[in-house]
A = this chain, B = another copy of it.
Amino acid sequence: MALRRIVLIGAGNVATHLGLAFLNKGLIIEQVYSRTALSANSLAAKLHAVPVIRSEEIMPGADLYIISVSDDAITEIVKKINFGESPVVHTSGTVPMDIFKQSAPAYGVFYPLQTFSKDREIDFSTVPVLIEASDPQLERMLADLGNLISARVQVCDSEKRKIIHLAAVFACNFSNFMYTLSEEILSSQQLSFDLLRPLILETAGKVMRQNPRDAQTGPAIRNDRSVMETHLQLLAGDPEKHEIYKILSKPISKLVNKENHGG
């Protein structure tokens, strides 16, 4: 049985981008549920779906229910929905699949490994989609669904997915925070963040082929103590950045580097 009719529970960035991607591939989003009327209405309008703000109004008999709300809210919303004979998945990196065990006959996970923003389009074809299912039939269904929008669908169990999500926090959330700290350093001297944008893009671009360990540059890996001392002095008035600078430079200086680098 081909999957055609989807109910989306949640109206955040992941729900929005998934919904649009599915719509583009000819699937039907029947309903969009959100506790907030504004969110439900706005996403439902984009997806030609019916907005729903009361969980009792979620329709029975969809081909698939996709729950895309914050991790903490999943358990609560699951209790309120009668899935009947239909399968249900969530889109979380961390929540185990078993959270659905008591609630649905077939259940799984459909986790797109990407950072989604309100106003940025995503090329879904390159986004890894990690799937997991309680039975082989649903696994096939989720693989087919994933293959509609992405060329990188993989089966991945809950334990591995948790590890990947942790790694993603370092690669995405923490690297973005490094950008934030650099922006703060610049703006404290009335300097524009624009100065660093080409550098940031190239730093990410380098590891598209290279291993990041081999791409490491800077004073710490060169063990350039005079530069590091200068930097720590510049940060003397900012204990938070001072500590972060020290704590990150130490392990970097222990790496062995293959690049012969001047910056």
Contact = CB atoms under 8 A, between A and B. Distances in A.
Interface stretch (A51-59, A102-110, A137-145, A184-192): A184-192
Copies in the complex: 2
Interface stretch (A20-28, A79-87, A175-183): A175-183
A160 B188 CA distance: 11
Contacts of A193: 207, 211-212
B262 A13 contact: yes
A260 B11 CA distance: 10
Nearest to A231: B166
Contact of A199 (B113, B221, B231): B113
Those 6 A-B pairs whose CB atoms lie nearest each other, nearest first: A173-B218, A204-B204, A179-B212, A14-B262, A171-B182, A175-B175
Given A128-B195, A167-B183, A177-B216, 18 more contacts: A12-B261, A14-B262, A113-B195, A114-B198, A116-B261, A118-B260, A164-B195, A169-B245, A170-B185, A171-B178, A171-B200, A173-B218, A175-B175, A175-B179, A177-B252, A179-B207, A180-B212, A180-B255
